[in-house]
Chain A
Amino acid sequence: MSAPTRTDRAAGAVLGLLGLAVALEATTFDVLFLTDPVGPKAIPMLAAAILVGSGAALVARPGSGGAWPGHGILLRMAGAIAAFGVYAAILAPLGFVLSTTATVASLSMLFGGPWRRSVGAAAALAVVLWYLFVWLLGLPLPLGAVWEALWTR
Chain B
Amino acid sequence: MDALSHLAGGFAVALQPLNLLLALVGVFVGTFVGMLPGIGPINAIAILIPITFATGMEPASALILMAGIYYGSQYGNSISTILLNVPGTASAVVTALDGHAMTRQGRGGPALAMAAIASFFGGTVSIFFLIFFAPLLAEWAIRFGPAEYFALMVFAFAALSSLAGGSVLKGLAATALGLLLATVGLDPNSAIPRYTFGQIKLLDGMDFVVVTIGLFAVSEVLQLLEETERGQAVTRGYGRVMITAKEFLSSLGAQIRGSVLGFLIGVLPGAGGTIASFLAYSTEQRVSDREGTFGKGDIRGVAAPESANNAAATGAMIPLLTLGVPGSGTTAVLLGALLGLGVTPGPLLITEEPDLFWGLAASMYVGNVFLLLLNLPLVGLFVRALTLPRWFLLPGVAALSFVAVYAVNQSAFDLVLMTGFGVAGYLLRKTGVPLAPIILGLVLGPLMEKSLRRAMSLSGGDWGVLFSSPIAITLWLLATASLVVPPLLARRVTAPASGATPTRTPPR
Contacts and interface: CB of A to CB of B under 8 A. Distances in A.
Give the secondary structure class of B's interface. Answer: helix
B412 A88 contact: yes
B412 A65 contact: no
A49 B177 CA distance: 11
A66 B431 contact: yes
Given A137-B54, A139-B54, A91 B176 contact: no
Contacts of A38: 452-453, 456-457
A146 interface: no
B458 to A, nearest CB: 10
Given A7-B430, A54-B173, A76-B225, A47 B190 contact: no
B457 to A, nearest CB: 5
Nearest to A19: B176
Interface string B349-364: 0000000000000000
Contact of A113 (B190, B391, B453): B391
Interface in A1-58: 7-8, 10-11, 15, 19, 22, 25-26, 29-31, 34-40, 42-44, 46-48, 50-51, 53-55, 57-58
Contact of B221 (A40, A48, A80): A80
Contacts of B194: 26, 29, 40, 44
B51 interface: yes
Contacts of A47: 176-177, 179-180, 183
B448 interface: yes
Nearest to B182: A43
Interface stretch (B4-12, B253-261, B394-402): B394-402
A100 B402 contact: yes
B31 interface: no
Given A29-B187, A40-B194, 18 more contacts: A7-B431, A22-B195, A35-B190, A40-B189, A43-B445, A46-B179, A54-B172, A64-B432, A84-B398, A87-B415, A88-B419, A91-B412, A100-B399, A111-B390, A111-B395, A112-B390, A140-B410, A141-B407
B481 to A, nearest CB: 18
A51 B176 contact: yes
Interface in A74-109: 76-77, 80-81, 84-85, 87-89, 91-92, 100, 103-105, 107-109
Contact of A37 (B51, B403, B448, B456): B456
A63 B470 CA distance: 37
A51 B177 CA distance: 8
Contacts of A110: 225, 228
Contacts of A85: 416, 419
A11 B228 CA distance: 26
Given A54-B169, A63-B167, A112-B391, A42 B452 contact: yes
B392 A31 contact: no
B403 A65 contact: no
B145 interface: no
Contacts of A66: 429-432
Nearest to B50: A139
Interface in B50-72: 50-51, 54-55
Contacts of A39: 189-190
Interface in A115-153: 118, 121-122, 125-126, 129, 133, 137-142
A43 B298 CA distance: 50
B192 interface: yes
Nearest to B410: A140
Contact of B430 (A54, A65, A84, A118): A65
Centre residue among B173, B226, B461 by max chain A CB count within 10 A: B173
A111 B225 contact: yes
